[in-house]
Amino acid sequence: MRIDIATLFPEMCEQVLSESIIGRARKKGLIDIYCHNIRDYSPDQRHHRVDDSPYGGGKGMVMQPEPIYLCYLDILRQSASVPHVIYLSPQGKVFDEKKALALKETPHLLLLCGHYEGVDERILEKIVDEELSIGDYVLTGGELAALVVTDAVARLCDGVLPDASCFEEESLMNGLLEYPQYTRPELWEDKKVPDVLLSGHHKNIESWRFSQSLSRTQKKRPDLYAAYQKKREKNDEK
């Protein structure tokens, strides 16, 4: 899978995506990630300007369409595939695990990061396939959002985690939150690891974990729990 990130702050993205699990996956060639500086594509060779004031007035600056378009065309030239283009925006559909799973099946993504007041509407009409938000709040730029999407998608790609069970049992994958996790020592600050986890009885461990998943989802995320129960009732009716 290939992910391109078009941004005014490529170093910010590059630094995060060179570390830990995603950094190792890139080194192993399991996923290709390229961060592009939109400023490099400014037709203004002297000042490398990429923004201007909004027509109609108002505070802040708007990113101009041309540097973004030239960056997009260069990415097209560099790759054999046409990317699915996502603009990170507070106006987009809210990103979740289901969306990460769907995007993982897309061979080539281009994530466009806005800054300031956002980007000229015409570039969205010209190249963007969809808009995604990482939550109902406003960030100063799309970089953190692009990093969130890249991390969530990349970790699902083959070979990035030791095996699929690493994410299959994770929170949200089956509509429930994950059960509590414990590691050594067995006793810490008067708190003991639950006996069942030390029993070696796999069936009992599995059923304990499932009931913990259910109860903590009900407590922490009643919205998810209600959706899970509804889905189960529907399946039972069939």
The contact set with ligand SAM (CB under 6 A) reads 88-91, 113-115, 117-119, 133-135, 137-142, 145
11 or 158, CB closer to ligand SAM? 11
Which single residue brings its beta carbon nearest to ligand SAM?
Answer: 114
Token representation of residue 118: 């956002």
Alpha helices in the chain (DSSP H): 10-17, 20-27, 65-78, 97-104, 121-127, 143-154, 165-168, 195-198, 202-220, 222-237
118 or 175, CB closer to ligand SAM? 118
- Is the distance from CB of 39 to CB of 11 less than 8 angstroms? no
As measured in angstroms, the least distance from the Cβ of 208 to ligand SAM is 37
As measured in angstroms, the least distance from the Cβ of 103 to ligand SAM is 14
Q: What is the C-alpha end-to-end distance of the chain, expressed in Å?
A: 38
As measured in angstroms, the least distance from the Cβ of 79 to ligand SAM is 22
129 three-class SS: coil
Q: How many C-beta atoms lie closer than 10 Å to residue 166's C-beta?
A: 13
As measured in angstroms, the least distance from the Cβ of 97 to ligand SAM is 16
Token representation of residue 192: 């003991």
**Nearest-5° Cα angle at 89, 72 to 27:** 55
89 or 217, CB closer to ligand SAM? 89
113 or 156, CB closer to ligand SAM? 113
DSSP 101-123: HHHHT-SEEEEEEPBTT-B-HHH
As measured in angstroms, the least distance from the Cβ of 237 to ligand SAM is 38
137 or 200, CB closer to ligand SAM? 137
8 or 176, CB closer to ligand SAM? 8
Cα 85 to Cα 41: distance, rounded to the nearest angstrom:
18
Radius of gyration of the chain (CA): 22
As measured in angstroms, the least distance from the Cβ of 148 to ligand SAM is 8
Token representation of residue 75: 């990415």
